[in-house]
Amino acid sequence: MPPEGCVFAQLLNMTAFLVVLTIYIRHRQTVEFYEHRLNWKRTVWHQMSLALMYMGFASALGLTLVANFPESELPLVHMIGAVLTFFSMVIYGWGQVIMGYSMVPRMVPLFVVHLRMLLIVVATLCLVLHELAVTLHVFVASGAGAPPGGWYRVRRLGKDSPFYLNYMIATGSEWVMALTMAAFILTFVAELRYTYAHAPRVVFRRDADDNPALGEPC
């Protein structure tokens, strides 16, 4: 509902942009450290880092779908965006943890990798719990049927409703999962605080002699 829903959507869109930026810089930092500093050849580690970057981009794309297609208006698209966001980010997180344990020397102390492992385990458990509630409705009493208006309609349920427990578990696990994934991204501060990025270089593909307009004073 406006204006709260509009503000929430705008914040999610901004978050998606920052996620893309962070994940891209994270990939470039990995390449800089292992390829340029340690002179590692581009083998499986580089392919995995690149694949994880695209997986992170997919998560950000899902986040924009969640933001711009409200559940109350287009529940199917909203649900697709949520699934894309959460599943992609869980895969991304596990990939980062695997690389953190297997690639030595590491860019961070081992306890940071342990922390990421803990966060992604919690996120994975919440994802499983969320899907059990949303997809299979395992926490609904037998014989209760479907709630009025269907499963994907925004509603308020009383504690005496047979769907209340299922709804609370689905909602609670979703928020815990989202906060855990945000905390996972924040752990990249451990590496990125020692990193800075140059502004992108712009290269003209034509000389000024080929295009007189390029040589004219402003």
- Tens digits of residue pLDDT in 162-206: 788 888 899 999 999 999 999 999 999 999 998 888 888 888 877
Give the per-residue pLDDT at 203.
85
Distance CA 106, CA 118 (A): 18
Residue 202 included in any domain: no
Residue 13 included in any domain: yes
Distance CA 77, CA 192 (A): 34
Distance CA 179, CA 173 (A): 10
Give the per-residue pLDDT at 13.
96
Give the per-residue pLDDT at 72.
78
Residue 203 included in any domain: no
What is the band of 73 on the pLDDT scale with cuts at 50, 70, 90?
A: confident
First to last CA, the chain: 48
Give the per-residue pLDDT at 18.
96
Q: Is the pLDDT of residue 215 over 60?
A: no
Residue 26 included in any domain: yes
pTM of the model: 0.87
Phi, psi of 44 (to 5 degrees): -60, -35
Question: 25-49 pLDDT, tens per residue?
Answer: 999 999 999 999 999 999 999 999 9
- Taking a C-beta distance cutoff of 8 angstroms, is the pair 164, 158 a contact? yes
Residue 192 burial class via C-beta count within 10 angstroms: exposed 0-12, middle 13-18, buried 19 and up:
middle
Residue 77 included in any domain: yes
How many structural domains does the chain have?
1
- Taking a C-beta distance cutoff of 8 angstroms, is the pair 55, 91 a contact? yes
Residue 29 included in any domain: yes
Residue 57 included in any domain: yes
188's CB contacts (< 8 A; 6+ apart) are 22, 26
Print the domain residue range for 73.
4-197
